[in-house]
Structure 1
């Protein structure tokens, strides 16, 4: 349609008094409508993204030789492969250690099988880490957090919580961030050596813990005022205290490294993928809570119901015997039979 309209519109001057006839007005209106309705051409994926998609689809087969292959990859490609592995539930100690690069400034192992030893090894390699996500990691404890803050002196953002194990890890790690002033020497604040104040994490400023409990929040507010818990985005741009993107839980830390890759790359057949953002939907639905509560109550009341049923049966038998002459005769006959056998 647009090609048909181009020819008559060549000589049409829209800024003059010419072309105001009804036929020209209809022509101009149709041209504008067709221009608005024409679909915008999307930017084609880059060759790197296409190659990463192919690698991601066959990542399971590449893991045994990943240590040899990853040596040839630049740091951003390693980060992309780690992000794909995390989404495909393949990220563990062996994979993340093979891919770890000394130039990394972010580390996202949320929801993976990385353990304390794997996190400690990566922290030794990637000492420039500024933001780390260990949320939903069942195999990382406060010991892993201690190793992380001791090796990464530039750590500013830590994301945790999201599952019972990670919630417990976050609570146990609070003592790592608290300043320790009991053994500090010096009469003035200027004379205090910052390395003596705490075990580590002196540079930590942003803590993303969506379900932090009240006691932990009060402790951090009073004893660690430098740490901002669950920060909100700044309304004014370019402020000194502007919240960095890594401290916002709406997207994953490694999202920029896979944004141009086809999401089908990490789809696993038969497995429902969890969202990459913070897992606020882990909580059971109200209907499921009611069902579990009813099942628990039913199991708890089962012995009592059985006891009541036996009592009702005995009561019914007793009432039947007291109200029926035939039942009384049968009882007396039974007693007589037992007495004869005893004698």
Structure 2
């Protein structure tokens, strides 16, 4: 019994030992705690940053001195891979150096995305690029004041896979986007040939056959209603939802907050296009009283658009006139008729022999 009492007393004494005493003079006893098990305790550890790649560092150096090699970019671009060309073009656009010459020097046949927004690219440059980059799926021409409906029409013609077009952003681009409704709308051309055998394949139908998404953030109500009525298959300013948009997946290129060429410069330091001492060219001041084009400019653009639209018809009429003149000449001229008959008889005799 004495041993049992001794064991009980020793156990009680050990239980009273406080291994985590509080401050001197206080009766508060702290409990042992595990700070890593406490869900409310967070330790801010330094995050490990991924070191830049060697390619990214090299492109950063090239981007900082891009204006020095633009004159020779045509020869340099021949030996560059497609992704490097796109990265250089993206840096040039951010540095306000992207123009027709730079774009034509870097355009690659494997490109599926082209972003020339806010650049000095004109109709000439975008048409030449479209002739090379025929697999373009997404194109951004927003804030490009030098690209007109003529350039957009040629892009649609040369890029049959174009699904996403981003436009608008300034008064000139907004006006051009309104004029492009007739380009985006698929239609049957008027057929005036004498027989189906004389028709060309591209004369049967025209229009943006594959265009599905139009990103135009500041579209006016009238243009939106026109697009909804005339081009119901083209979704204007699509929004992504967890259940899909009209049971169709909205591609990332069609989301408004996305910049198309961001992926091309992901590994490049952003200070590359913020070169010290570089001054961005200021846009020419626009009259405060009006945000639209002048009447003379509207007439000029309308005339160019009409001339471009009627050019294929004029060429087709000329071909028809030439063929009919040739037939009338054979019917009216006895010598020509005799020559044709002699040629036919000669062919038949040669075939029999």
Does the alignment pair 1:119 with 2:126? yes
1:154 equivalent to 2:161? Answer yes
Is the Cα contact below 8 Å between 1:50 and 1:261 reproduced in 2? yes
State the secondary structure of the residue aligned to 1:107.
strand
The Cα of 1:65 is off from its aligned counterpart by 0.9
Q: In 2, Cα distance between the equivalents of 1:55 and 1:198? A: 45
Deviations for 1:147-187, whole angstroms, at most 9, x for unmatched residues?
Answer: 100000000000000011111110111110123246379xx
CA–CA distance in structure 1, aligned partners of residues 268 and 221 of structure 2: 40
Q: Is the 8 A contact 1:178 1:198 kept in 2?
A: no
The answer as to 2:234 corresponding to 1:227 is yes
Q: TM-score, normalised by structure 1?
A: 0.66
1:37 partner SS: coil
Aligned to 2:221: 214
Query: 1:67, 1:235 → 2: CA distance?
Result: 45
Q: Give the distance between the partners of 2:232 and 2:202, measured in 1 at CA.
A: 18
Q: TM-score w.r.t. structure 2 length? A: 0.65
Most deviating of 28-37 and 255-264: 28-37
**Residues 271 and 167 from structure 1, CA distance in 2 versus in 1: closer, same or farther, beyond 3 angstroms?**
farther
Which whole-Å CA distance do the structure 2 matches of 1:150 and 1:201 have between them? 8
Match of 1:14 in 2: none
For the Cα contact (< 8 Å) 2:213–2:237, is it kept in 1? yes
Which one is further off, 146-155 or 59-68? 59-68
- Distance in 1 between the 2:280 and 2:124 partners? 26
- CA distance in 1 between counterparts of 2:19 and 2:157 reads 79
Aligned twin of 2:304: none
Could you tell me which residue of structure 2 aligns to residue 318 of structure 1?
A: none
User: For each residue in 1:288-327, what CA deviation from the matched residue of structure 2 results, as whole angstroms up to 9, or x when unmatched?
Assistant: x9xx79xxxxxxxxxxxxxxxxxxxxxxxxxxxxxxxxxx
Number of aligned residue pairs: give it: 253
Alpha-carbon distance in 2 for matches of 1:106, 1:42: 29
Other-structure match for 2:350 = none
User: Partner residue of 1:43?
Assistant: 50
Name the residue aligned to 2:255: 248
Which whole-Å CA distance do the structure 1 matches of 2:19 and 2:244 have between them?
A: 51
**In structure 2, do the counterparts of structure 1 residues 74 and 25 end up closer, same or farther at CA, with 3 Å as the change threshold?**
farther
- Consecutive unaligned residues of structure 2, counting only runs of 5 or more, are 1-17, 22-29, 193-199, 290-353
Q: Distance in 2 between matches of 1:240 and 1:71?
A: 43
Counterpart in 2 of 1:29?
A: 35
Aligned to 1:63: 70
Q: Does 1:174 align with 2:181?
A: yes
Where structure 1 has 5 or more consecutive residues not aligned to the other structure, the ranges are 1-19, 186-192, 275-281, 294-343
**Residues 1-343 of structure 1 aligned to structure 2 (within 5 Å):** 22=20, 28-29=34-35, 36-181=43-188, 183=190, 198-236=205-243, 241-269=248-276
- Give the RMSD, CA atoms, in angstroms: 3.2
Residues 155 and 194 from structure 1, CA distance in 2 versus in 1: closer, same or farther, beyond 3 angstroms? farther
8 Å Cα contact 2:113/2:137 also seen in 1: yes
Deviation at 1:219, TM superposition (A): 1.2
Contact in 1 for aligned 2:188/2:206 (Cα 8 Å): no
Tell whether the 8 Å contact from 1:176 to 1:198 is kept in structure 2 after alignment: no
Deviation at 1:236, TM superposition (A): 2.8
* In structure 1, C-alpha distance between the alignment counterparts of 2:204 and 2:253, rounded to whole Å: 26
Contact residue 159 and residue 207 of structure 1 kept, 8 A: yes
Task: Give SS of 1:132's match.
Answer: strand
Runs of 4+, deviation exceeding 4 Å: 23-27, 30-35, 193-198, 237-240, 270-274
